[in-house]
């Protein structure tokens, strides 16, 4: 089977290459999945597109595949597979028109009635879930989300679904308005003096600039926790302030933690309560119940062959782009 796959050969050098994959007769437990929708991450994907591929520890250099948010339909099944032709599944495959999945690959069922474009944002939303879990979130806490890119907006939405009282903090009136549509009770402009009065129990930092880091520090209450999903200072010079200043860590007794990891081990809930698979299943349950309408933050729906246009728009830091998805049915 011949497929189309998006590859980065260097900074801003995005090309589609043809590959041959086995799949006319999948083996035992294997399935062939044809792409429906893939999503753009304006964090990792964009950093790779900008030429900063190796900033993430352990990440490959160029040439490299791009994308990790894939929704497709099963078109062929091998003997003993638990899947059926026509099943819709989410995976962390790159942007590609089809793939062959082994029995032990991570595939998560997308329930009937869930919008496939919204479903393509599931892993980006799962990052917010993981950030809250690692910070020991409890229902009803005051949660501030700093940075309203696609991950930040997804985090706002899922925090509301998980019972938080949410404040959104962004630097764009357009994205602040989207955050309120997704359920944020308050949207505050970055750098606003009102941040100090928020007294947030938990702050989820999804943005990279040092200014966003300062917003997170300001928004946290005494004894609060800051869950850092972003890469503070990425592509910036060292800050002119001390990120671990005693007036923050000592005087406010803050806890800072890197976050975003979910165990990928396939284990029962008696061993691992919420691994990556069960976090994704939770998100799809919320979507099926109408509690997590992620499709509302999709501002750009484009055919797959126009993918480079979306990356260029994101590179220009367009505030009118929230989530962008690519249609593989055309």
Residues 81 and 26: their CA atoms lie apart, in Å, by 10
Copy the structure tokens of residue 316. Answer: 């220009």
Residues 272 and 66: their CA atoms lie apart, in Å, by 29
Copy the structure tokens of residue 60. Answer: 């490959």
Residues 309 and 2: their CA atoms lie apart, in Å, by 24
Residues 69 and 38: their CA atoms lie apart, in Å, by 6
> How high is the pLDDT of residue 293?
96
Copy the structure tokens of residue 235. Answer: 């592509």
Q: Which DSSP letter does residue 256 get?
A: E
pLDDT by residue for the chain (330 residues), tens only, comes to 889 999 999 999 999 999 887 766 889 999 999 999 999 988 888 888 988 767 777 778 889 999 999 999 999 999 999 999 999 999 999 999 999 999 999 999 999 999 999 999 999 999 999 999 999 999 999 999 999 999 999 999 999 999 999 999 999 999 999 999 999 999 999 999 999 899 999 999 999 999 999 999 999 999 999 999 989 998 889 999 999 999 999 999 999 999 999 988 888 888 888 899 999 999 999 999 999 999 999 999 999 999 999 999 999 888 999 999 999 998
Flag whether 297 is in a domain.
Answer: yes
Flag whether 128 is in a domain.
Answer: no
Helix (H, G, I), strand (E, B) or coil at 21: coil
Residues 274 and 56: their CA atoms lie apart, in Å, by 24
Copy the structure tokens of residue 311. Answer: 């990356």
Q: How many CB atoms lie within 10 A of CB 81?
A: 19
User: 211 and 183 in one domain?
Assistant: yes
103: nearest Cα among 138, 79, 127: 79
Q: Which DSSP letter does residue 96 get?
A: B
* Count of domains forming the chain: 2
Residues 63 and 6: their CA atoms lie apart, in Å, by 10
> How high is the pLDDT of residue 178?
96
Q: How does strand 220-228 pair with strand 200-205?
A: parallel
Which CATH number do you get for residue 179? Answer: 3.40.50.720
Is residue 89 within 8 A of residue 108, CB to CB? The reply is yes
Alpha-carbon dihedral angle through residues 281, 119, 70, 176, given to the nearest 10 degrees: -120
Domain that holds residue 319: 2-122+275-327
Flag whether 265 is in a domain.
Answer: no
Tell me if the pTM is above 0.75. yes
Distances (CA, A) of 63 to 2, 9, 48, 60: 20, 4, 10, 8
Flag whether 32 is in a domain.
Answer: yes
Flag whether 319 is in a domain.
Answer: yes
């Amino acid at each position: 089977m011949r497929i189309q796959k998006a590859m980065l050969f260097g900074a801003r050098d995005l090309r589609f290459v043809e590959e041959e994959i086995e799949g006319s007769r999948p083996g035992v437990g294997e399935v062939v999945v044809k792409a429906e929708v893939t999503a753009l991450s304006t964090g990792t994907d964009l950093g790779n597109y900008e030429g900063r591929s190796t900033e993430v520890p352990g990440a490959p250099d160029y040439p490299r595949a791009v994308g990790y948010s894939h929704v497709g339909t099963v078109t062929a099944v091998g003997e003993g597979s638990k899947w059926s032709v026509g099943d819709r599944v989410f995976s962390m495959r790159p942007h590609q028109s089809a793939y062959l999945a082994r029995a032990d690959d991570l595939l998560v069922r997308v329930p009937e009635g869930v919008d496939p474009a919204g479903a393509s944002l599931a892993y980006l939303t799962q990052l917010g879930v993981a950030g809250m879990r690692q910070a020991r979130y409890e229902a009803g806490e005051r949660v501030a989300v700093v940075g309203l890119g696609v991950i930040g907006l997804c985090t706002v939405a899922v925090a509301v679904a998980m019972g938080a009282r949410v404040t959104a903090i962004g630097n764009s009136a357009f994205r602040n308005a989207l955050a309120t549509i997704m359920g944020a009770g308050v949207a505050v402009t970055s750098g606003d003096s009102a941040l100090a009065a928020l007294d947030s129990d938990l702050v989820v930092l999804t943005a990279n600039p040092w200014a966003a880091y300062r917003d997170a520090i300001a928004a946290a209450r005494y004894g609060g926790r800051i869950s850092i999903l972003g890469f503070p200072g990425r592509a910036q010079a060292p800050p002119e302030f001390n990120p671990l200043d005693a007036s923050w860590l000592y005087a406010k007794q803050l806890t800072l933690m890197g976050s975003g990891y979910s165990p990928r081990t396939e284990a029962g809930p008696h061993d691992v309560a919420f691994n990556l698979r069960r976090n994704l299943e939770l998100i799809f349950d919320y979507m099926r119940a109408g509690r997590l309408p992620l499709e509302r933050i999709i501002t750009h729906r484009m055919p797959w062959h126009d993918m480079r246009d979306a990356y260029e728009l994101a590179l220009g830091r367009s505030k009118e782009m929230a989530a962008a998805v690519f249609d593989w049915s055309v």
